[in-house]
Amino acid sequence: MKDKVLLVEDDAGFLKEYKGVLEKQFNIEMVLGNGQGLASVSGRGPYAVVVSDFGMPGMDGIEFLSLVRKIAANTVCIMITGASYLENAIQAVNDGTIFQFLIKPFKPHVFAKALNAGIDRYAKICQVEKEVEEPVSSQKTKKILVVDDDPIIRSIASGALKAFDEFIVLTAENGKVASRLLDIIKIDLVLTDLEMPEMNGLQLISHMAKSNYLIPVIALTWVMTPETQTRLEILGVSQYLEKPLDMDALIKIVFQEINSGTGGEIHGISIAGFLQLVETEEKTCTLTIRSDFGVGYLDFLKGGLIAAETGELRGEEAAYQIIAWEESAIEIQVNRNMKKKRN
């Protein structure tokens, strides 16, 4: 027997439009309104997937699906929404209320794909719960944002990551859209292409640095030049992948970055030149400088040097000493607690 799917809508025309197509592929029930929907979930479940429209009278889709999750914790929830309610849908994904959302209008094969993904997710949840004997809702998930103007790469990368229950994956077609998502959602990792229209990857990463988003970033590009690599490292990005993507390598790096945070080390650039770039990018970070002369620390807040230390020296005296060092290795830490200014 196929897993059951419940579609809740207040638009009879919408149900009629999709009824024939969906009934051929799924064990689906369709009801009008959230009152009938809650009655079905309580008395006719369990359902692998419950789909609800956002804009229903009396109780919106997010409130309805939150109640569904309280009644049936394992049920996977999908929401249908209009473009004007996009922020609500994104927030619901962020809060864990829904698994996916679909923006009207959409074609039947898109709906079917979402339902199949939800059914697969439900099967995984049930299997994990059976193996570990604890609710999957207690597991911690990480939110990953995939930014690329190529829909094929977005689909391949997000599909590979969604195979892991640890990840919730969001996508954006350029840096401008991504920056808007970062303003309203707590993201744990960003994968971004470098060559995109409107706002490219370097501009996005620079925006994140200036906004103090201390989020690990993995850069994606067809060709990585030494100049681009140096600029990425200045911005605190030490991981990158060249296209076409190796999915095994991508997954490995994602887990490394999720578990270890951000940071990188640079060789072969003068300290003075590097400091100018930090100032230009308005970077908030700590630089650890290692050379034959010793180890020094430079703390920056939005590109301004606020503290320096090497051996017994502090402040400007320490900064001048460190800048004079040659053959140094520079380590960037963007998630280190900033020290108070030292004089």
Please give the full DSSP string across 267-291, using - where no structure is assigned. Answer: ESS-HHHHHHHHHHTT--EEEEEEE
Q: Residue 90: its pLDDT value, please?
A: 82
Q: Residue 42: its pLDDT value, please?
A: 80
- Alpha helix (H) residue ranges in the chain: 12-25, 33-44, 61-71, 86-95, 108-132, 151-162, 175-184, 201-210, 226-234, 247-260, 271-280, 315-323
Averaged confidence pLDDT in the chain: 81
Q: Residue 81: pLDDT above 80?
A: yes
272 plus 325 within the same structural domain: yes
Inside any domain, residue 159: yes
Inside any domain, residue 151: yes
Q: Residue 4: its pLDDT value, please?
A: 93
Q: Residue 260: its pLDDT value, please?
A: 61
Q: The tokens 């929830």 sit on which residue?
A: 77
In sequence order, the 6+-apart residues with CB closer than 8 A to the CB of 1 are: 27
Q: Which of 111, 136, 161 is the last residue of a domain?
A: 136
Q: Residue 107: its pLDDT value, please?
A: 86
Under 8 Å between Cβ of 335 and 263:
yes
243 plus 272 within the same structural domain: no
Q: Which amino acid is at 111?
A: F
Q: Residue 137: pLDDT above 60?
A: no
pLDDT digits (tens, 9 = 90+) for 248-285: 888 888 887 776 644 445 555 567 767 776 777 677 77
The pair of three-digit structure tokens given for residue 270, joined into one six-digit string: 């003068």
Inside any domain, residue 255: yes
36 plus 101 within the same structural domain: yes
Inside any domain, residue 241: yes
What is the rounded radius of gyration, in angstroms, for the C-alpha atoms of the chain? 25
254 plus 318 within the same structural domain: no
Q: Residue 236: its pLDDT value, please?
A: 74
Answering whether pTM is above 0.75, one says no
Q: How far is CA 199 from CA 25, 148, 212, 232, in A?
A: 41, 11, 18, 16
Inside any domain, residue 343: no
Segment holding 31, helix H or strand E: strand 27-32
34 plus 108 within the same structural domain: yes
Q: Residue 192: pLDDT above 80?
A: yes
189 plus 209 within the same structural domain: yes
In our burial notation (b when 16+ CB lie closer than 10 A, e otherwise), range 310-327 reads beebeeeebbebbbebee
pLDDT-above-90 percentage for the chain:
16
Quote the number of domains for the chain.
3
The mean pLDDT of 85-90, rounded to a whole number, is 80
Inside any domain, residue 341: no
210 plus 312 within the same structural domain: no
166 plus 196 within the same structural domain: yes
d(CA 178, CA 194): 13
62 plus 125 within the same structural domain: yes
d(CA 225, CA 239): 14
77 plus 176 within the same structural domain: no
Q: Which of 230, 262, 294 is the last residue of a domain?
A: 262
22 plus 37 within the same structural domain: yes
249 plus 299 within the same structural domain: no
Q: Which of 136, 167, 193 is the last residue of a domain?
A: 136
Inside any domain, residue 213: yes
Domain containing 174 — which CATH number? Answer: 3.40.50.2300
Of 243, 88, 262, the closest CA to residue 190 belongs to 262
Inside any domain, residue 338: no
Range of the domain at 291: 266-333
- Return the minimum-mean-pLDDT range out of 48-52, 240-244, 325-329: 325-329
